[in-house]
Chains A and B, each alone.
Chain A
Amino acid sequence: MIRFEKVVKKYNYQDKAAVDNLDLHINKGEICMLVGPSGCGKTTTMKMINKLIKATTGKIYINEMDIEKVDPIKLRLDIGYVIQDTGLFPHMTIAENIATVPMEKGWDRNKIRHRVDELLELMELDPEIYRDKKPKDLSGGQRQRVGVARALAADPPIMLMDEPFGALDPITRGKLQDEFLRLQEKIGKTIVFVTHDMDEAIKMGDKIAVMRDGKLVQFGTPNEILSNPADEFVSELIGGNGSLKIMNLIKCKDIMRSIPNIDVDNSVDEAMKLLLKLGVRNILVTDKGQGLLGYVNYDSLANHKATLKELLKPIGETVTPKTTLQDTLSKMFSLGRKTVFVSGSRGRVDGIITMDDLLKAVSDNDQSSDIIA
C-alpha cells in the first residue's frame, strides 16, 4: 500500500540526513508504528507520505503510484491526518470541523450531515450534544476523538497519526487506544502511527518500525521485536521485562485449555476417573439442564470423602477470551488463585488458564513466535 524506496531527506541546515536511505513497505489494512527517540526521523518519514515534507531523493509509492506525480492537495484529501495537539479549528463547531474534508470534496449538505452524526456516534459522542459545540467546550480526550473523526470523515484509505494520544493522561490514553483498536477492526485502514512510546507501539501495532538517526533499525511484528530485538538500542527501547510485555500481546483465547464437565449426580470416583483419563486437574460440574454449578479439582477430590455437590467450588470471577495474559495474571494475583476460568457466551465457561500456562506461554515465546493468532 505504502512503499518507501531508498528515501533520503536532508535539511539544508544539517549535514546528516534526517531520514537516511529508508526502505519500508506498509501493507494495506495494517497499523505500522514508527517508533524511536526524538529526532530519529519518524515524524519526517510520516510527513513525507502526504508531502508535507518533500523527500530529497528516493521514491514513495501509494498503491504503486509515485506520489511525486500527485498534486499535494489531492493527495492529502485522501489521507486522514491526526496530530498530537488535535489542531481542531477553534472558531468552528465540532460538526464543521469534521465536515472540513467532505466540504472540500464537494459532498452535498445532507450527506455531510449524516456522515458527521455517524462519526460522532462511532466516537461515542452524542451528536445532539456535541455537534454544535466548539472545541474549547470539550475535554482533551473528547477533542482527540473529534480529531480522529475529522480525519476519518471522507473515509480515506490511509491515516497518518502523529502521536495522537501523546498529550493525554495515562487513563484516557489507554481508553482511547482500546477504542481505536476496536474501531480499526471495523474500518481496516492502513495506518502510519508515530510514537516515541514503545509500549504504545507494542500495543497498537501490527508492525513496528524502530528508527534511530534516520535509519530503520528493525521492522517486524511486535512479537518479533520483543522476542528478538535487533540490537542493544532496540532492547533498551523495549526496556526491561520484555517477557511481561509479551504477556500484553497474547490473549487468553490463544492459550486457554478446554475443560471437561460432569453431571453433579455422578460419584466422586467417577469424576476422579474422568480427570485421570483426560489428564487434567479441574472439572466443571453441571446440573441436569447443563447449567453450570461450579467446579471441583483433583486435590479436593483426592482428599475428601464427600459428594460432588459438597466439594463444589464457585467459578468466581472470570476473564474473557480477549483478556491479555498480563491482565489475567493480575486477576490471579488479586483473586489469590492459581487458576482462572475463561468465560464464554451466555454464562458458560469456555476454558481454563493456570499460572503454569502463563509461564509456559511466555517462555515458549522466547524460542518461537507462533503463539499470536
Chain B
Amino acid sequence: MLEFAISRWQTILKMTIDHFTIVVIAMIISIIAGVAVGVLITYKKSWANVILNVANILMTIPSLALFSILIPIMGIGRAPAIAGLVLYTQLPIVRNVYTGIVNIDPSIIEAANGMGLSKAKIMYKIKLPLAFPVIMAGIRTAAVMGIGIGAIAAYIGAGGLGEYIFQGINRGNDRMILIGAIMVSVITIIIDRGLGMVQRRFEI
C-alpha cells in the first residue's frame, strides 16, 4: 500500500491540492458571505428567523442532490462545486455569527452605546471580537463539513480526492479508496488544527 502511494505520489498530491484549493476558495467565500449575513440579521431580528431557517433547510438537502440541482444552472466543474460548498457551509457560520453576537452580555453593549460609540464601531470593536470564539467554532465546523462534502463534488467533475475515491470504487481498487480517504482526513485535521490555533490566539 505504501509502495502504491509512493509510486503514484504525483497524482495523489495533485488531487489533494485540488481538493484543498476547492475547499479553501469555498470557505473564503462562505466566511465572507456568512459573516456578512450573520451580522446583518443581528440588526433585523425579524429576518433572523427566516434566514436561519433557510440555511437550515439548505443543510438538510443531501449533498448529492444539491450538486445535481446545480448542474443545470452552472454546468459541471469547479464552479458549481464551490457554489454547492458555499451554500452548504452557510448554516454553521451564519448561525454562530448570529448567536455569538446576540448572546453578548447586554450591559457591555449598553455601556458602549452610552459612551458614544457608533453602531459600526460597536460591531467591529466590541461585538465581533467578543463573538470571535463562537464564530470560529462555526467556521471550524463548516470547514470540516466542507472538506468531507468536497469529496462528493467529484461527482460533478470538480476533481480532488473525491475523484480518486470514485475511481477506486469503479476499478474495485481498495488502496485508492483508502488513500483518498486518508488524505481527506489529513486535510481535515490540518485545517481544523490550524483554525483551532487561530481561535485560541484570540480567545479572551
* Chain A residues proximal to chain B, CB less than 8 Å: 47, 50, 52, 72-79, 81, 83-91, 100-101, 104, 134, 136, 147, 150-151, 160
Q: Which of B109-150 contact A (CB under 8 A)?
A: 109-118, 121, 126, 129-130
* Chain B residues proximal to chain A, CB less than 8 Å: 105, 107-118, 121, 126, 129-130, 204
Min CB–CB distance B32 → chain A (angstroms)? 23
A101's closest neighbor in chain B, by CB? Answer: B115
- Complex CA gap A74/B126 in Å reads 19
Contact of A81 among B105, B111, B130 (CB under 8 A): B111
Contact A52:B114 (CB < 8 A) given known A86-B107, A87-B107: yes
- Complex CA gap A90/B132 in Å reads 13
B116's closest neighbor in chain A, by CB? Answer: A76
Could you name 13 residue pairs across A and B whose Cβ atoms are closer than 8 Å? A73-B117, A73-B118, A76-B113, A76-B116, A81-B115, A83-B110, A85-B105, A86-B111, A87-B108, A91-B204, A100-B117, A151-B115, A160-B114
- New A-B pairs, 18, CB < 8 Å, besides A88-B111, A89-B112: A73-B117, A76-B113, A76-B116, A78-B116, A81-B111, A81-B114, A83-B110, A83-B114, A86-B107, A86-B111, A87-B110, A89-B108, A89-B111, A90-B108, A91-B130, A101-B115, A101-B116, A134-B204
Whether A100 pairs with B115 at a CB distance below 8 angstroms is yes
Whether B107 pairs with A85 at a CB distance below 8 angstroms is yes
Contact A83:B107 (CB < 8 A) given known A74-B116, A76-B114, A104-B116: yes
For B105, B114, B121, which residue has the most chain A Cβ atoms within 10 angstroms?
B114
- Complex CA gap A163/B117 in Å reads 22
B132's closest neighbor in chain A, by CB? Answer: A91
Whether A89 pairs with B126 at a CB distance below 8 angstroms is yes
For B105, B107, B129, which residue has the most chain A Cβ atoms within 10 angstroms?
B107
Whether B113 pairs with A83 at a CB distance below 8 angstroms is no
